[in-house]
Homo-oligomer: A and B are copies of this chain.
Amino acid sequence: MRYDRAVTELGRRERKKLQTRQSIADAALELFLARGFDDVGVKEIADRADVSVTTLFKHFPSKESLLFDEDEQQEAELVGAVRNRPAGQSIPRALRDHFVRMSYGHVDHPLFGAFNRLVQETPALRTYEHKMWMRHQEGLARAIAEEVGVPADDVRCVALARFALESRDVIFGREDREQAADEVFGLLEHGWAADQQS
């Protein structure tokens, strides 16, 4: 047994598998961008990627998933933003900064704009992406709880994690994202009563 190569280099077999997966994803992206999510059938995507429909569904669990890949990275960044925040900075503030940073990223990539437009325009894709994003709630809540020194299922931590994640769509839908982020996370940090008389 030669684990050495198998582990590090991923072997010809796995490479081919990834390659198949990639060509399916590529075909899907092209077609969806060109004609819209609902006007392209799985069959057509499979044909263009030169695989059978059955094979397509062995690589992806659903039509929507063709457009997104796993993102351990996003959760890691979220958790990192909380864990490695500057000394003395509050957790909501750290999350606010992270979101603002996020909103600037990828601005350059040409496909990114069209991709985002496609997702926002297609209800099925919006809800799918939102669901994926919300899966980070548990991980984020745990990070916050550890940071504060309370049990992982502390209600306030869970709530803060959920609210922070939910606020993304609120903020990204606004013209001035930076100011929106200030107001929304200000609400989480200092509360509603802070600068409201009623």
Complex CA gap A171/B155 in Å reads 8
Residues of B within 8 A of A156 (CB): 183-184, 186-187, 192
Complex CA gap A155/B192 in Å reads 12
Per-position binary interface string of chain A over residues 65-88, scored 1 when its CB falls under 8 Å from any chain B CB and 0 otherwise? 000000000000000000000000
Instruction: Please report the total number of A residues contacting B with Cβ < 8 Å.
Output: 33
Contact among B159, B174, B184, B189 with A193 in the assembled complex (CB-CB below 8 Å): B189
- Which of the segments A21-29, A30-38, A162-170 contacts the partner chain? A162-170
A147 at interface, CB cutoff 8 A: yes
Extra 20 A-B pairs, beta carbons < 8 Å, given A90-B198, A92-B192? A90-B192, A90-B193, A91-B198, A127-B131, A147-B198, A155-B174, A155-B180, A155-B183, A158-B170, A159-B170, A160-B192, A163-B163, A163-B166, A188-B188, A188-B192, A189-B191, A190-B190, A190-B191, A190-B194, A191-B191
